[in-house]
Amino acid sequence: MRYFVAVAEELHFGRAATRLHMSQPPLSRAIKQLEADIGALLFTRSPVGVTLTPVGTVLLDEARALLDHADRVRVRVSAAAGVATLTVGILGDGTDPGVARLAAAYRRDHPGVDIRIRDTDLTDPTCGLRAGLVDIALTRAPFDETALTVRALRTDPVGVVLRADDPLARRDRLRLADLSDRRWFQFPQGTDPLWQSYWNGGRPRAGPAVRAVQECLQAVLWSGTVGLAPLGHDLPAELAVVPLIDMAPSRVVAVWNEGDTNPLIRSFVEIAITAYRH
Amino acid sequence: MRYFVAVAEELHFGRAATRLHMSQPPLSRAIKQLEADIGALLFTRSPVGVTLTPVGTVLLDEARALLDHADRVRVRVSAAAGVATLTVGILGDGTDPGVARLAAAYRRDHPGVDIRIRDTDLTDPTCGLRAGLVDIALTRAPFDETALTVRALRTDPVGVVLRADDPLARRDRLRLADLSDRRWFQFPQGTDPLWQSYWNGGRPRAGPAVRAVQECLQAVLWSGTVGLAPLGHDLPAELAVVPLIDMAPSRVVAVWNEGDTNPLIRSFVEIAITAYRH
DNA sequence: TGCAACAATACCCACAGGGTATCGGCGTTG
DNA sequence: CAACGCCGATACCCTGTGGGTATTGTTGCA
């Protein structure tokens, strides 16, 4: 299940394998075996890329829910066994090494606490905070903040992601008006409106609906849409990012449920604040 | 998880192993490893018997729910892949070979259908029919039949289960009145009232609350309570069963949700009827 | 003080699931 | 248009998990 979700989110066997800390051939074999067990193909493989079949789409939702459930069982049973757990939600693929160092620092200071990192896709900036999937989220504003406590950590300037061969990609800065005739990728309906509107620059020119970082990049690469991203992340060579000068910078924040009195949250936020103020 | 649930339900490593179609030592080792992973003991082992620790009790509920969830994922994904599934609920430990033969007969007649047998504990005579855990239940009356369709299959005379050294165990038949001074085991609160009242002969003299067949037998063996059971099942040598002559016989029935138009249900019921009319 | 019951231990074996090296098919490019 | 590069599939190896049998250890019980 974890293997399948990784491939479905990356839409790329090689990348999924590195994310799972394993090599590509056993991953291919495992997926093949899963497909044999189910009796249907889960992915369409083509050299241009991997996509989900209808059966795969069904399984992706089910598998995510099942893995969430299993995680909650672990937390509850650990709690019954007297081991405190703090679940931290982060947005997108957890390749950001900053979070790993943060977690390591926290583990050093609180040896008895079991700290878990939970990646979420881009459709919920609160990382499932309201649903109880995480205790605290390290994420980006803006989103509906009712019943949540938000603490600012950092701001990042924002740029537009384009194909490297796009005429605009050679400019050293852009305005939103320069992109008025472009199609923007959207998030699926049901996504927080503030979030949705921020990341498509307030434009309703709907392109494909994406859920994950890799899907965003693929949307730009394949269907020629444009999308926004915070600066300072590495991109594949076929993509370029150009700073936007009339866009409010992206605020990195820590969020937790307003009434949550778990003392581990406070101490984690303290460590996060000092870590982000480098 | 499946191993743990089996041991927790049988409260006996050897029996759990046979139920899991494996031998006892690897099962012991697997549980030990699970306990190491969790960081707490799940069972208290003593030669007089195995009991759940508080952590084990928590895990039992969680593990049951998680296994149910996983089962439903399998069914839904199979459905998306075009494979029809029929889930049959049966009560108690599925050691009854009759059900296995029934399932085999059905598989022969309907090769494309994936038929699953799901054991349930004794606290829900409908085997989770209303919750959608099963499509059809082979179980025993009586229970609340609203919104359910019930089809009679057979009746079994009922007897009382006693310790073999109980004075009453030597009698060749008993009346309910002979047991008026005994404590009866109960089912946990929330259990269907009709069901509960039938199996304790209408007596409210509460003994321990049990969930599974093995717990019933242990309750009789250890705490000296009495309980009813249909005749014709083998019991351990320390227990005896004496026919009750003033007790309505137990009705074996097939049940399904009233509005369920799944044609597989009808055909399964047909096969069940002919199989039970031997 | 044996004896019976039952979980734990010791030890063995097979295969699932990991790894590396390589192939094949299909775009891209000079 | 041929050579190359990307990426998933295949071939093959090797370790460790998870199954098995035989035996021990402990504890009530006769």
> pLDDT tens, B6-57?
999 888 898 899 888 998 999 999 999 999 999 899 999 887 788 899 999 9
Task: Mark B149-175 as b/e (b = at least 16 C-beta within 10 Å).
Answer: bbeebbeeebbbbbbeebeebeeeebe
- Domain A158-248 bears CATH identifier 3.40.190.10: yes
Cis peptide leading into A142, omega within 30 of 0?
yes
Query: Above 80 in pLDDT, residue B102?
Result: yes
Fold (topology level) of B84-156+249-278: D-Maltodextrin-Binding Protein; domain 2 (3.40.190)
pLDDT the model gives residue B96? 67
Q: Which residues of A touch B68 (CB under 8 A)?
A: none
Residue B205 pLDDT = 63
Q: Which residues does residue A250 pair with via DSSP β-bridges, in sequence order?
A: A156
Counting residues of chain B whose pLDDT is more than 90, the rounded percentage is 41
Helices (H), B124-262: 193-199, 213-223
- What is residue B278's predicted lDDT score, i.e. its pLDDT? 66
Q: What is B158-247's CATH number?
A: 3.40.190.10
* Pairing outcome for strands B158-163 and B239-243: antiparallel
* Ordered DSSP codes for A219-232: HHHHH--BEEEESS
Arch. (CATH architecture) of B1-77: Orthogonal Bundle (1.10)
Instruction: Spell out which residues of A between 40 and 59 contact strand D, using CB within 7 Å.
Output: 45, 47, 49-50
Report pLDDT digits (tens) over A2-56.
Answer: 999 999 988 889 889 988 999 999 999 999 999 999 989 999 988 778 889 999 9
Instruction: Give the pLDDT of chain A (278 residues) as one tens digit per residue.
Output: 999 999 998 888 988 998 899 999 999 999 999 999 998 999 998 877 888 999 999 999 999 999 999 999 999 999 999 889 999 999 876 556 678 788 888 989 998 898 988 888 888 999 999 988 899 999 998 999 999 999 999 888 999 988 887 888 888 899 988 888 888 888 888 899 999 989 887 776 677 788 878 778 777 877 778 888 888 777 777 788 899 998 899 999 999 999 999 999 999 999 999 888 76
Q: Where exactly are the structural domains of chain B?
A: 1-77, 84-156+249-278, 158-247
Task: Report whether pLDDT(B95) > 60.
Answer: no
What pLDDT shows up at residue A54? 92
* Cβ atoms of residues B192 and B143 within 8 Å: yes
Answer whether A84-154+249-278 and A158-248 agree in fold. yes
Confidence of residue B88 (pLDDT cuts 50, 70, 90): very high
B33 touches strand D (CB under 7 A): yes
Residue nearest to nucleotide C18 (CA to C1'): A26
**Residues A65, B70: C-beta atoms closer than 8 Å:** no
pLDDT of residue A170: 84
Q: What is the CATH number of domain A84-154+249-278?
A: 3.40.190.10
User: Do the bridges between strand B114-120 and strand B85-91 make them parallel or antiparallel, or are there none, so unpaired?
Assistant: parallel
In this structure, what token pair is assigned to residue B188? Answer: 């946990």
**Other CB atoms within 10 A of residue B261 CB:** 7
Query: Of A40, B203, A15, whose CA–CA distance to A31 is shortest?
Result: A40
Contacts of B63 (CB under 8 A, 6+ apart): A73, B1, B4, B5, B8
Protein-to-nucleotide distance from the CA of A276 to the C1' of C10, whole angstroms? 54
- Classify A1-81 by CATH class: mainly alpha
Phi, psi of B220 (to 5 degrees): -65, -45
| Tokens representing residue A187 in the block | 């998030």
CA distance A3 to chain B (A): 16
